[in-house]
Amino acid sequence: AQSVTQLDSQVPVFEEAPVELRCNYSSSVSVYLFWYVQYPNQGLQLLLKYLSGSTLVESINGFEAEFNKSQTSFHLRKPSVHISDTAEYFCAVSDTLTQGGSEKLVFGKGTKLTVNP
């Protein structure tokens, strides 16, 4: 079974400051990793994913995450945040062995990012 730990439940930052949202996972098998974002009163949107290949993955709105297998981490970073980045961010993991509709995501408890002016 997998588990995900998001170390910070809330992260307040000022606009244009850098931010890092931490995510660690536990699994006995290889995993795929995801970051989802949930804006207030909305559903979850996939922000970025690591399936294979380069360990550094990027989103279209400036976020990036790096898969570190030795540290079992997948931290999310942005060099300069905007007020519009205020949202809840969820790290999720899925093992690579399940197939055919069994691909369940195990989520962390979320990190609320608040960007202040």
Partner 1 sequence: DTAVSQTPKYLVTQMGNDKSIKCEQNLGHDTMYWYKQDSKKFLKIMFSYNNKELIINETVPNRFSPKSPDKAHLNLHINSLELGDSAVYFCASSPFWSYEQYFGPGTRLTVT
Give the footprint of partner 1 on this chain (CB under 8 A): 32, 34, 36, 38, 42-46, 49, 51, 88, 90, 94, 99-107, 109-110
Q: 54 vs 102, which CB is nearer to partner 1?
A: 102
Asked if residue 65 lies in contact with residue 76, where contact means CB atoms within 8 angstroms, the answer is yes
Count CB atoms within 10 A of the CB of residue 30.
10
Judged by beta carbon, residue 49 or residue 77, the one nearer partner 1 is 49
The token pair that represents 25 in the structure block: 């996972």
CB of residue 107 to partner 1, shortest distance in Å: 4
Dihedral pair phi/psi, residue 13, rounded to 5°: -140, 165
Please name the amino acid found at residue 26: S
- Counting beta carbons within 10 angstroms of the beta carbon of residue 18, is it exposed (0 to 12), middle (13 to 18) or buried (19 or more)? exposed
- Nearest approach, Cβ of residue 90 and partner 1 (Å): 7
Closest distance of CB 65 from partner 1, Å = 15
CB 77, min distance to partner 1, A: 21
Q: Which is nearer to partner 1, 99 or 117 (CB)?
A: 99
